[in-house]
Amino acid sequence: MKTNKVLLATLITLIVILSSCKSNEESQKTGKKKHVTITGEFTVADPTPVKLYYLGSSDSKLIDSIQVSGTNFKFDRPIEFPGIYLLRYFNDQRIYLILKPGDNIAIQIDNSLPEISYYVENSSESKRVKKLMDKHDFAMHQIDQLSNEFKTHVGDTAVRKRIDAAYMDILRDLKEFTETFIYEEPTSLANLLAIHLNMGKDQPLFDRYDDFKLFRFVDSCLVISYPAAEPVHFLNKDVTELKLEIANRKYIQKIVEAGRPVPSMITTDIHGDTIVLSESPEDPVLLYFWASWNPYSVEELLQLDRYLQKLPPGKLQVLSVSLDSRKTELDRFISEHKLSMPVICDYQYWNSELTARYAVKQIPSSIVSNAEGMIIAKDVFGNELYQYLDKLVKE
């Protein structure tokens, strides 16, 4: 009799567990609202408001704001699906969270320090996010140190090579860490943040094309577990579109190389003047891709501008293509440096139609063609670039 009672109790427990799992799975697909509670405590009193944002497909949406009384704050909101959220507080400090319906999260924030320092409880996903962002922030601190060193040694080729090598080591280490982070827990929503990490302003850690397999892996894992989550939906849409773009991009790369005709172009510069690059140009052409937020490309750009000013008119056509995404910042940069060469920019960042047309995968990037319109060099810089240009202008 006791055995039967034990079996019955076990069966009841198993049914409850299975029902709970099924209920959680169904709630993710049907969007039943449950409250999420975020209880926070600062080390010292902070009079500035704490704001909670929802991170959707491409922008953030403010969903709540609390004026802190003393050192404590609390958010209590209903949500339908798991998603990525952002807490912002004093001096634009940011804490990323993964929230799921029914979560009850506690956060302790040490706001006495200049850097972000916090501890999160009752959310394994948000703990994973902290682990990821701590590693990212440390890498960015190292890059800032390299950038400061670079600014004090502009024009020193030996120093630049050493800094470039150090930067690549930091980048490689962060990429390896992040890839391992993703593969450790393939169904974690934190992986959405991982594949979209930036190394500074508008410079992604993972390239949508070169690292497409990683994007596809994250998409295939998350779309099954969180089909109704908005960020997952948009990732799935993006991956589907990327498949088609990559097929076209591979074809373009085959035709944008030395010994092939330079692709033609009709567009306008940032002032609205028409720019024409024909299949049969009368002069040699240099296409240079850069961005104001990339110091290496800027250094080469300024040298090119000085070089161009010394040339007689009609010797060389130089077209600079900026990958900036903000008009105000690009205008300010051009004004400060008094650029003389025409600048082309559609403010679409890496989604620019010209990066695809000329198979640009990095910046700086250069394409040199002769007066017959044939590409003679690609991605050459410094002394090597000027050797090509000097030879062309003398012909």
Residue 84: count of CB within 10 angstroms of its CB: 24
Instruction: Give me the residue label for tokens 């009672």.
Output: 5
The domains located in the chain, with CATH, are 32-122 (2.60.40.180), 128-255 (no CATH), 265-394 (3.40.30.10)
Q: For the chain, percent helix, then strand, then coil, each to nearest 5?
A: 45, 25, 30
R_g (Cα) of the chain, nearest Å? 26
Query: How does pLDDT run across 279-312, given as a tens digit for each residue?
Result: 666 788 899 999 998 888 888 899 899 888 888 7
Instruction: Give the torsion sign (CA, 211, 215, 218, 224).
Output: negative
Tokens for 80, please give them. 């339908």
- The pTM score is 0.64
Q: Is pLDDT at 131 greater than 80 in this prediction?
A: yes
Among 32-36, 128-132, 310-314, 375-379, the least confident range: 310-314
| Residues 6 or more apart in contact with residue 355 via CB below 8 angstroms | 289, 321, 323
As a whole number of angstroms, the distance between CA 367 and CA 369 comes to: 7
The answer to whether residue 192 scores a pLDDT higher than 50 is: yes
Q: Mean pLDDT score of the chain, rounded to an integer?
A: 83
Q: Are 111 and 202 in contact (CB under 8 A)?
A: no
Per-residue b or e along 358-394, where b marks 16 or more CB atoms closer than 10 Å to that residue's CB: bbbeebbbbbbbbeebebbbbebbeeebeebbeebee
**Distance in angstroms (rounded) separating the CA atoms of residues 159 and 167:** 12
What pLDDT does residue 151 have? 78
Query: Which residues face 80 on adjacent strands?
Result: none
Q: Would you state the structure tokens that stand for residue 249, as one six-digit string?
A: 């991009």
Residue 274 identity (one-letter amino acid): T
| pLDDT of 272 over the 90 cut | no
Distance separating alpha carbons of residues 183 and 188, to the nearest angstrom: 10
Helix (H) or strand (E) holding 347: none
pLDDT band at residue 215 under the 50/70/90 scheme: very high
As a dihedral over the C-alpha atoms of residue 321, residue 322, residue 325, residue 328, rounded to 10 degrees, the angle is -120
Average confidence (pLDDT) over 137-155: 84
- pLDDT higher for 166 or 279? 166
Q: Give CA torsion, residues 362, 364, 365, 371, to 10 deg.
A: 170
**Chain segment 317-337, per-residue pLDDT in tens:** 888 999 998 898 899 999 998
CA 386 to chain centre: 32
Q: Give tens-digit pLDDT for 31-88.
A: 567 899 999 999 998 788 999 999 876 678 899 999 887 899 999 999 988 999 999 9
Each residue's pLDDT tens digit, 308-320: 888 877 788 888 9
Question: What does the block give as tokens for 211?
Answer: 């690292």
Residue 153 has pLDDT above 90, yes or no: no
| DSSP letters for 45-76 | ---SEEEEEEE-SSSEEEEEEEE-BTTEEEEE
| CA angle in degrees (0–180, nearest 5) for 242-243-248 | 90
